[in-house]
Structure 1
Amino acid sequence: MMEDKVFLGQNVSVICKDNDCTVFQMKDETGEGLMTTYKVFPGVYLMYNDYHMKSCISEFKPHCNMFSINHCNEGRMEWDVGDGAYLYLREGDLKIDNCNHHTGNYSFPLTHYHGISILLCLEEATKSLNSVLYGFPVDLIELQKKYCDNKKSYVIRGEKSIAHIFSELYAVPSKIKKYYFKIKVLELLLYLSALELQDEELERPYFYKTQVEKVKAMEKLITSDLETHYTLDQLSARFDISLTSMKTCFKGVYGTSIYAYLRTYRMNRAAVLLRQSKDNIAYIAGCVGYDSPSKFAYAFKSIMGKSPLEYRKSIV
């Protein structure tokens, strides 16, 4: 069982279990996360990760030589990689590491994260893969060295072939999961083994703590009072960060520009007000920073797909 291979932490509990699947729950004051885990081969586990929380503390400790492959399908995850630097996994990215640095603080800047992790206990996995597929040409130890030789995480950004492999894993009929997982894991390992790494792929876009703290404080400021508008120059001066660094770091943390992020935030807040109150649309427009109801209606429809009135009428 996977629980024998790793220590997941005091904040993780088993909420259901059968012969094929174990569901773990991580819970704290910011929300909860579910990890639905399947044993694919002896020593090989596939885990669906669904988190709805702002942050969590991981106490993960491997009890064997492990290798992990993590795919982000939706949302965003922040890793503290040490030395005052942070790394972000965004939609479509693949992160590969040796599991030695999974202990620590994790944040979800968009308050949600959905993806898949494949965990391999290398010694046991090597034996099992060779037994199920004689002559399987992937050396897992060499694969680990290829991507994790410097002991840090390796991130592949938005590779189309990887997207194809994982896209099919997010919609697998229950009756074929057991066998389909085996095929897809073998396919992924073969692909990673054959992938030629280019020099530019070796660059890891880290953001430093001082910058990250400033853009997080900036995000808190601009979302705490939606009726106040700030220019980029005002934000740059207020938080003592250059315009270029501010734009780059904000997009690195939150996945989009400051104005695009704030626009979506305003519309999501407006949607809550439309659902939970009977206030008129002009009043709600003002609450989220729009003086013009017509401009608000246009922005709302561009984000939510319906006009404010249509959205309100659609609520059952």
Structure 2
Amino acid sequence: MQTIQWQNVFGSDLKAIKQHRYCTEYHIENHSGTGKLIQYEVLPGIQLTYNLFKLDIRPNNNITNINIIEINHCMEGRYECEFKKNDYIYLNEGDLSISNFSCKKISSNFPLGYFKGISIIIYLDEAVISIKKMKLPDSIDLYKLMKKLCVKGHCFILRARNEIKHIFSQPYPVKEELYRTYHQIKVIELLLFLSSNNISEQNQERPYYSRKQVTITKQIRDHLITHMNKRITIEEMSKKYGIGATTLKSCFKGIYGTTIGNYMHYHRIKTAAFMLQNSYDSIAVIAAKVGYENQSKFAAAFKKITGMCPSEYRKSKHKQPVVHKKVSFI
């Protein structure tokens, strides 16, 4: 059976830590964080991988084969792909993407610093034989499916919807010896869904962002985080970095999945929670550091998100403060 050799993708950062007949578990660690991949051989020609990453950058394989289909489902976090035309596209939570390996990726990233999802790789020549042996309905035609969804090397995207959620959910416990059968059922269910007559008409057009737009937007995000003690306006950032305010707002939401205001609001509270647990600073000082001049407004905002006022949160952690610990924004 053909398989993606993850060692060739991640290099020495990847280690196989557990292996069974149809399953291999990998651990990855690099400068940006850690990750875990659990790969199952579902059928000859079809492999399914559970991905759990707490890092920023995912290396890419260099395979260019039009007869390999890649299906990605984003369960948590966000998934960024840069294609050969220097265009970027993003998967939200619940989204599904289908492409073949002729759709060359330049890079892949996780803008929120974490990602949980499922990847299915289908080697058409081998998978077609496997499916025929299962005597399944003729409605599953993998070559026809690729021709319908992978048009002109573009990535086909379905927004989050109940059918996708149902297919990728696991509403009941499955014994380890039944994993392969369970995954076979789920993959066939997905292929039947994708083979429905009108699925190609439901491709959700997502805005593609240029490399320049993405680079500037990420620089602005870093600037806002570095200076979170200040209240900086979108107009100020737009002027400073030479990008239109409307474009900035659209691109930021495309990358990070929320508005600039919401992103910074949650980031401030998240950082304040870390400081409350790991520093001796007073609540007033922490409030100022994360951009709140009014301590009462800070306490109200903190409680709305955490369910506790700052003093209660600090007491609940029962942890000796660490003075010079670096903040990790994951």
Task: Tell me the TM-score normalized by structure 2.
Answer: 0.88
Go from structure 1 to structure 2 and tell me whether the alpha carbon gap of 1:312 and 1:202 turns closer, same or farther (over 3 Å shift). Answer: closer
Percent of matched pairs sharing the same residue: 36
Deviations along 1:231-260, one digit per CA (max 9) or x if unpaired, are 121111111111211110110011100010
1:121 corresponds to which residue?
123
Change (3 A) 1:13 1:262: same
CA drift at 1:86: 0.5
Contact in 1 for aligned 2:39/2:49 (Cα 8 Å)? yes
Alignment of 1:23-62 (within 5 A): 23-61=25-63
Q: Write the mapping of 1:47-196 to structure 2, written as runs, cut at 5 A.
A: 47-61=49-63, 65-101=67-103, 104-168=106-170, 172-175=173-176, 176-194=178-196, 196=198
Spell out, residue by residue over 1:19-71, the C-alpha distance to the aligned partner (whole angstroms, 9 max, x if none): 13111233321112221111111211111011111113223526783111110
Report the equivalent of 1:8: 9
Q: CA deviation at 1:218?
A: 0.4
> How many Å separate the matches in 1 of 2:299 and 2:190?
45
Give distance in 1, aligned partners of 2:44 and 2:304: 48
Distance 1:255 1:134 in 2: 39
Relative to structure 1, the CA distance from residue 114 to residue 253 in structure 2 (aligned partners, 3 Å threshold; closer, same or farther) is: same
Give me the whole-angstrom Cα distance separating, in 1, the residues matched to 2:120 and 2:247: 34
Q: List gaps (5 residues or longer) in structure 2.
A: 319-330
Residues 31 and 83 of structure 1, relative CA distance in 2, 3 Å threshold:
same
State how far apart, in whole Å, the 2-side matches of 1:4 and 1:84 are: 25
Write the deviation string for residues 207-252 of structure 1: whole angstroms up to 9, x where unpaired. Answer: 1111111111100100012111111211111111112111101100
Q: Which of 214, 222, 225 is the aligned partner of 2:224?
A: 222
Query: Which of 278, 281, 298 lines up with 2:280 in the alignment?
Result: 278
Structure 1 residue runs of 4 or more that deviate by more than 6 Å after TM superposition: none
**Matched residues in 2 for 1:99 and 1:14: separation?**
25
Structure 1: runs of 5+ lacking an equivalent: none
Separation of aligned partners in 2, 1:195 and 1:77: 28
The CA distance in 1 between the partners of 2:262 and 2:204, in whole Å, is 30
Deviations 1:102-133 (A, max 9, x none): 65321111011110111111111111112123
Q: State the aligned residue count.
A: 315
Q: CA deviation at 1:134?
A: 4.1
Q: Conserved in 1, the CA contact under 8 Å of 2:45 and 2:122?
A: yes
**2 CA distance for matches of 1:3 and 1:25?**
18
Per the TM alignment, residue 271 of structure 1 is displaced from its structure 2 partner at its CA by 1.3
CA shift digits 1:139-192 (9 cap, x unpaired): 1111111111211211111122112211238x7534443322121111110000
- Alpha-carbon distance, 1:304 to partner: 2.4
Q: 1:280 to 1:5 in 2, by over 3 A?
A: closer
Contact 1:122/1:140 (<8 A) preserved: yes
- Root-mean-square deviation (CA, aligned residues, Å) is 2.3
Structure 1 residues 304 and 4, CA, compared in 2 at 3 Å: closer, same or farther? closer
* Maintained 8 Å contact 1:88/1:253: yes
Given the superposition, is the C-alpha separation of residues 134 and 226 from structure 1 closer, same or farther in structure 2, using an over 3 Å criterion?
closer
* Contact 1:92/1:159, CA 8 A, preserved across alignment: yes
Change in CA separation of 1:99 and 1:32 when aligned onto 2, cut-off 3 Å = farther
